[in-house]
Amino acid sequence: MADPGVLEQEATETRTQLAPPWNVVCWNDPITYMIYVTMVFQRVFGYSYEKAYGLMMEVHTSGRAVVWTGAREKAETYVQKLHASQLKATMESTGE
């Protein structure tokens, strides 16, 4: 029997699991100009010209490139901004 003067407390265990990050993927498009894609990457992500140009080249040569990785909500915002600039962009969970 429990002591009436003592609150019994069940042992609990809290596990914190961080949500897996999401990739923002940009896909190649034959019509959109390379300089336009470079400009959009600079404006949307704040990348330097060098970094934006490098990612654009990866999109161009590989057909797609992961242009940003992070929290889902922010990934959604970035995909929306890329769509607003008519770039083909998707988001995918890294599943980590």
Partner 1 sequence: MIFPRLERYADGRLAFEDLAPAFLLLLMEVPDLLKTDEQPDEVHRRLFPDPGDDAAMKEEWARFVHPELFSLLASAREIVLHDLANVRPSSPEIGMGTWRMEIPPDHVNGWISALNAARLALGAIQGIESEDDLHAFDDTPEGEEEDDAPVEFDERRFVITKIHLLGELQAMLIMDQCPPPPGFFPNMREEDDDEEEEEETGS
Binding site for partner 1 (CB under 8 A): 29-33, 35-36, 38-39, 42-43, 49-50, 53, 76, 79-80, 83-86, 88-92
29/19 Cα distance (integer angstroms) = 31
Whole-number minimum distance, CB 18 to partner 1, in Å? 21
Burial environment of residue 25 by CB neighbours within 10 A (0 to 12, 13 to 18, 19 or more): buried
Between 5 and 59, CB nearer to partner 1:
59
Whole-number minimum distance, CB 57 to partner 1, in Å? 12
Between 14 and 78, CB nearer to partner 1:
78
Give 22's strand partners. Answer: 70, 93
93/1 Cα distance (integer angstroms) = 51
Between 8 and 50, CB nearer to partner 1:
50
For residue 23, the number of C-alpha atoms closer than 13 Å in the C-beta half-sphere is 12
Whole-number minimum distance, CB 89 to partner 1, in Å? 7
